[in-house]
Chain A
């Protein structure tokens, strides 16, 4: 049986990671507002999607990578629970929720919406922020073997997590639609080009780190392939986040597209750097 002190350390890393990655969102007005106004069905979808994301991350890239599904699910449940507690405490400290004057539904909405990001942060923090010696040894061993690093599904998941992590702080805010309303097609095209180049450069550097997979196809082709995949994942996650915060409702197709591409740039940054940051 693991000593309690070791578990406590792991939870502490999780809490630190949770706050590290989600504190900006806990201080963002648009998220509080969204929490108070997003319909409950959408919140349920959000919780379930986050739960699945956590399961995927824990299974393919987390601290106990490749562990049994039951273990992974237990970890994910714990991370969501910790996310709720942290979110409750911080929001209450900030005066954003109040159980005497506020309708319970509003407080609940705010807690839920913040808790999901915190939960993802807890998961990443537990995996990334140090660890016991034997855990780190095992983790670096699995890195060098390349068996898990090279798996497509794992890579795609890391890209998705990375994109949500970086772009998630920007997605709820007013600045995205504001830029979209005032920009021109030329600028937006430049953003697409910049996203692709940025992603390719970052993937180029991350490709050399901890990847023992034999490259049969040649490095350039692999870079192009991974850049395109990462960009598609970024655009999809940007679209999902914008839809979730209601930015795609009632706007023209052009503005929808502009917003997705604009948010797609930070999402691409996260997607391509995902492997550097969170693995």
Chain B
């Protein structure tokens, strides 16, 4: 059996560093574990016009999950609406929006909302993993 002998400075460094990392990780996880269980996801959408050369009627959607759980299959609908009638609608499907995170996507229309019409963006559905 080879005797390891006394440790050289490198080995002390690696051991010390590893011990610190291990204790930090366990401590952090313990603190996380003691916090209350996460609630449901909560999706909030912001949008703004984001035209490009090839897509002049494009909108950028920023989808934020402010809840404590990841949301899957997040369906967003953007629609040009006159009174209560939907003139044109576009959908965005995000497979995965982690908790306290933001994802973004783009939707396209064939024209801008005319006077009397408005753009309505809403979250249709999402599921838990």
A146 within 8 A of B: no
Chain B interface residue count, CB cutoff 8 Å, equals: 30
- Interface locus among A19-27, A74-82, A262-270: A74-82
Structural contact, B98 and A80, CB atoms closer than 8 A: no
User: A81 and B19 in contact (CB under 8 A), knowing A3-B8, A4-B10, A64-B2?
Assistant: yes
Taking the closest CB of chain B, its distance from the CB of A165, in whole angstroms, is 21
B11 within 8 A of A: yes
- Interface locus among B27-35, B78-86, B105-113: B27-35
Residues of A within 8 A of B26 (CB): 44, 47
Structural contact, B99 and A103, CB atoms closer than 8 A: yes
A1-28 CB contacts (< 8 Å) to partner B: 1-4, 7-8, 11
A60-110 CB contacts (< 8 Å) to partner B: 64-67, 71, 74, 77-82, 84-85, 101-103, 105-106, 108
Residues of A within 8 A of B53 (CB): none
Structural contact, A2 and B8, CB atoms closer than 8 A: yes
Structural contact, B5 and A44, CB atoms closer than 8 A: no
B1-43 CB contacts (< 8 Å) to partner A: 1-2, 4-11, 14-15, 17-19, 21-22, 25-26, 28-30, 32-33
A39 within 8 A of B: yes
Structural contact, B32 and A11, CB atoms closer than 8 A: no
Residues of B within 8 A of A65 (CB): 1
Taking the closest CB of chain A, its distance from the CB of B126, in whole angstroms, is 15
**Which of B2, B4, B70 lies in contact with A37, CB distance below 8 A?**
B70
B116 within 8 A of A: no
B101 within 8 A of A: yes
**Complex: how many Å from CA A74 to CA B16?**
10
Residues of A within 8 A of B7 (CB): 1-2
- New A-B contacts (7) at CB < 8 Å, excluding given A4-B9, A4-B10, A81-B21: A2-B4, A40-B30, A80-B18, A81-B15, A84-B21, A102-B98, A102-B101
**Interface, chain B (partner A; CB < 8 A):** 1-2, 4-11, 14-15, 17-19, 21-22, 25-26, 28-30, 32-33, 70, 98-101, 129
**Could you show 20 A-B contacts with beta carbons less than 8 Å apart?**
A1-B8, A4-B10, A37-B70, A40-B30, A40-B32, A41-B33, A47-B26, A47-B29, A64-B1, A64-B2, A78-B14, A78-B15, A80-B18, A82-B18, A85-B21, A103-B99, A108-B28, A112-B29, A134-B2, A138-B1
**Interface, chain A (partner B; CB < 8 A):** 1-4, 7-8, 11, 33, 36-37, 39-41, 43-44, 47, 51, 64-67, 71, 74, 77-82, 84-85, 101-103, 105-106, 108, 112, 132, 134-135, 138, 142
